[in-house]
Amino acid sequence: MNKYMERIYNGIWKENPIFVQMIGLCPTLAVTTSAINGVGMGLSTTVVLVLANILIAALRKIIPDSVRLPAEIVVVASFVTIVDMLMEGFTPDLYESLGIYIPLIVVNCIILGRAEAYAMKNNAVLSAFDGIGMGIGFTIALILIGAFRELIGAGMIFGVQIMPASYVPVSIFILAPGAFFILAILTAVQNKLKMPSATNGSVKKKKKAGGCSGDCLSCAGHDAAKAE
């Protein structure tokens, strides 16, 4: 795997922004009432993320360290405005259902986080691949959460009736509490199956430390075991 593909793998699996890093949860919880909303939010964030990463990486030697946060925000906000206007013009329905969360992509911590953690330290091409990886990881997570919420809460996926007609939708799942239930369950499944994420990675090699059966690298038992 070359270093470009590694970035994409990293964004989708190893450091998935939602299920592993747990950042950008506000739009995740708020807009995933259906799978199509997840697609829209995920793709628009991906576009902003990739473009902002490229520009910030290109400008990283010009931006003075002391004003890097305002500079990054200005770059992100410009791209968000472009995406916002494009969506209003070409996908008015989606724009309507995502509402305030499109302009709020500016303050999505995935974008600022990647700019700070990656784009300010690496070249533009690598940063672009990092943005693509993180964006795809984010989109997949949103689609998964949206699809499960739509399935349980409305009996449909992408607007197509899946459940039999006699199924009574559990409407709490398309309301706010349902987002927390689904996110928690999917994260738990990710942990349980020991998917190759950054937090699960090294645990497979060694026996479980102490009484905890968790997988966290930062677990006290893990550190204690390491010290021995």
Partner 1 sequence: MEKLFNVSSSPHVRDHSTTQSLMLDVIIAMIPASIYGVWQFGLNALLVLIATVVACVVSEYAYERFMNKPITIADGSAVVTGMILALNMPPQIPVWVPMVGGVFAIVVVKQLYGGLGQNFMNPALAARCFLLISFAGLMNDFSSASLGFDSLSGATPLATLRAGGEVDLASLIIGRIPGTIGEVSVIALLIGGIYMIVRKVITPVIPLCYIGTTAVFLFIFGGFDVNYTLCEICAGGLIFGAFFMATDYVTSPLTQKGQVVYGIVLGLMTGIFRLWGASPEGVSYAIILCNLFVPLIERATLPKAFGKGGTKK
The residues that touch partner 1, with contacts defined as CB under 8 A, are: 168, 170-173, 175, 177, 181
CB of 182 to partner 1, least distance (A): 13
Residue 20 corresponds to which tokens in the numbers above? Answer: 């592993």
Q: Which helix (H) or strand (E) holds 157?
A: strand 156-157
Closer to partner 1 by CB, 117 or 172: give it: 172
Q: What are the backbone dihedrals phi and psi of residue 160, each rounded to the nearest 5 degrees, phi first?
A: -100, 130
CB of 97 to partner 1, least distance (A): 21
Closer to partner 1 by CB, 177 or 196: give it: 177
CB of 99 to partner 1, least distance (A): 22
Closer to partner 1 by CB, 133 or 153: give it: 153
User: How many alpha carbons fall within 13 Å on the CB side of residue 116?
Assistant: 12
Q: For residues 2-25, b (16+ Cβ closer than 10 Å) or e, as one string?
A: eeeeebbebbbbbbbbbbbbebbb
CB of 175 to partner 1, least distance (A): 6
Closer to partner 1 by CB, 76 or 152: give it: 152
Query: In angstroms, rounded to a whole number, what is the distance separating the alpha carbons of residues 163 and 148?
Result: 12
Q: Is 219 helix (H, G, I), strand (E, B) or coil?
A: coil
